[in-house]
């Protein structure tokens, strides 16, 4: 059994999001997806999660998105990913 969480919800929100109330993030998200552990490590060295068109390397200790592909492409400029 893995010590890492098996799933996360990722919210894609407009930047800047510093200082924004975390409870507001779901309301302003342009996309949300639940990603599940793949059992692999990503190029960043963190566990890889995938689902609903997203592939993410997530640091389970913080939890921060360290790398992200959205429908196979990098995240568009002006958007940021947050774990909820």
| Residue 18, pLDDT score | 76
Please give the pLDDT value at position 20. Answer: 82
Q: How confident is the model at residue 1 (pLDDT cuts 50, 70, 90)?
A: very low
Q: What pLDDT, on a 0 to 100 scale, did the predictor assign at position 62?
A: 92
The continuous run of DSSP H or E covering 28 comes out as helix 25-28
**pLDDT tens digits for 6-58?**
999 999 999 887 778 888 899 999 999 999 999 999 999 999 999 999 999 99
d(CA 60, CA 64): 7
pLDDT of residue 65: 96
pTM for the predicted model, two decimal places: 0.88
């Amino acid at each position: 059994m893995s010590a890492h969480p098996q799933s996360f919800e990722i919210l894609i929100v407009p930047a800047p999001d510093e200082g924004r109330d975390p409870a507001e993030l779901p309301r302003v998200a342009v996309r949300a997806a639940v990603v599940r552990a793949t059992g692999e490590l990503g190029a960043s060295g963190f566990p890889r999660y995938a689902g609903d068109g997203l592939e993410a390397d997530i640091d389970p200790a913080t939890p921060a998105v360290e790398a992200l592909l959205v429908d196979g492409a990098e995240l568009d400029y002006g958007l940021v990913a947050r774990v909820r």
